[in-house]
Amino acid sequence: MATTSKQYKAIGEDIWKGRTEKTNAELFALTYGALVVQLIQDYEDYAEVNKQLEKMGYNIGIRLIEDFLARSSLGRCADFREVGEVVAKVGFKSFLNITPVVTHTAPPSRPNSTHQQGNVAGSSFVLTLDENPLAEFVELPEEALDGGLWFSNVLCGVIRGALEMVQMQVQAEFLSDVLRGDESTEIRVTLLKYLEEEVPVGDD
């Protein structure tokens, strides 16, 4: 039973409305911004800061997914296309109250493939964020632009961490960011491979 895009939107809305604990988004944005500034001061290297933000996001993602699964009680996604829909319409909505637009891209496939494209490694989707709650009050200085800082890189880490916990190894990266002067803010998530469920040692 395929869930339509509209149904996912509704699920996302419900979860968001059902959440009792909400924080002021400005507080969130200011805290994240100050944290990035501090990391830049400490590492003095924008590539390293990108890495640390991604790592931080990964650690957040591996916990966040539990919360998400508990709240949403959604089953396994049928294919990577569905993953994209769920991440955008339910995931982002329930935590950040935004709904990025999803654009699916088929993997570079062989011309005569008849099987489901959505499950092949190489499938990807692009999330286009119309609004970014993290970047609410942010303007990047020249050096950060030249240095290649991806301000909201934590989001990539969160996606990577969360999906890894549901047995998908993905690569999430920013393609463009309005903070950098680009037209839009886009994150591309590419499926690398499905991970095998590992049975803990000693379990038989």
Partner 1 sequence: MTSRPLHSPAPSPLAPLADPPVRLVDGAAMDYLLIEAVNALRASSAVAAARAKKIEQEMAEAGILPLPPPPPPMKPQQSHRDSVGSMTSRTPATSPDNEEDEGVRTRLEAIGLHVGGNFVERLCRDRPLFGDSLDAIKFVCKELWVSCWDKQVDNLRTNHRGVFVLQDNTFKPISRISSWQGRSEALKHAKIYVALPAGLIRGALARIGLHGTVTTEITSLPHCTFQIKLPKNS
Residues interacting with partner 1, by CB under 8 A?
A: 16, 19, 21-28, 30-35, 37-39, 41-44, 52, 55-56, 59-60, 63-64, 67, 94-97, 133, 137, 154
Task: In whole angstroms, give the CA distance from residue 18 to residue 190.
Answer: 31
Instruction: Please say whether the dihedral angle defined by the alpha carbons of residues 189, 83, 191 and 110, taken in this order, is positive or negative.
Output: negative
Residue 174 pairs in a beta bridge with 187
Of 25 and 145, which CB lies nearer to partner 1 in the complex structure?
25
Of 7 and 59, which CB lies nearer to partner 1 in the complex structure?
59
The burial of 113, by beta-carbon neighbours within 10 Å (0-12 exposed, 13-18 middle, 19 or more buried), is given as exposed
* Least CB distance to partner 1 at residue 34 (A): 4
* Least CB distance to partner 1 at residue 144 (A): 16
Of 102 and 134, which CB lies nearer to partner 1 in the complex structure?
134
* Least CB distance to partner 1 at residue 57 (A): 8
* Least CB distance to partner 1 at residue 153 (A): 12
Determine contact, residues 19/97, Cβ cutoff 8 Å.
Answer: no
Residue 176 pairs in a beta bridge with 186
Question: What is the amino acid identity at position 151?
Answer: F
* Least CB distance to partner 1 at residue 161 (A): 10
Task: In whole angstroms, give the CA distance from residue 124 to residue 105.
Answer: 5
Of 25 and 178, which CB lies nearer to partner 1 in the complex structure?
25
* Least CB distance to partner 1 at residue 154 (A): 8
Of 91 and 118, which CB lies nearer to partner 1 in the complex structure?
91
Task: In whole angstroms, give the CA distance from residue 123 to residue 158.
Answer: 19
Of 25 and 175, which CB lies nearer to partner 1 in the complex structure?
25
Task: In whole angstroms, give the CA distance from residue 189 to residue 85.
Answer: 12
Closest residue by Cα to residue 88 from 11, 193, 1, 195: 11
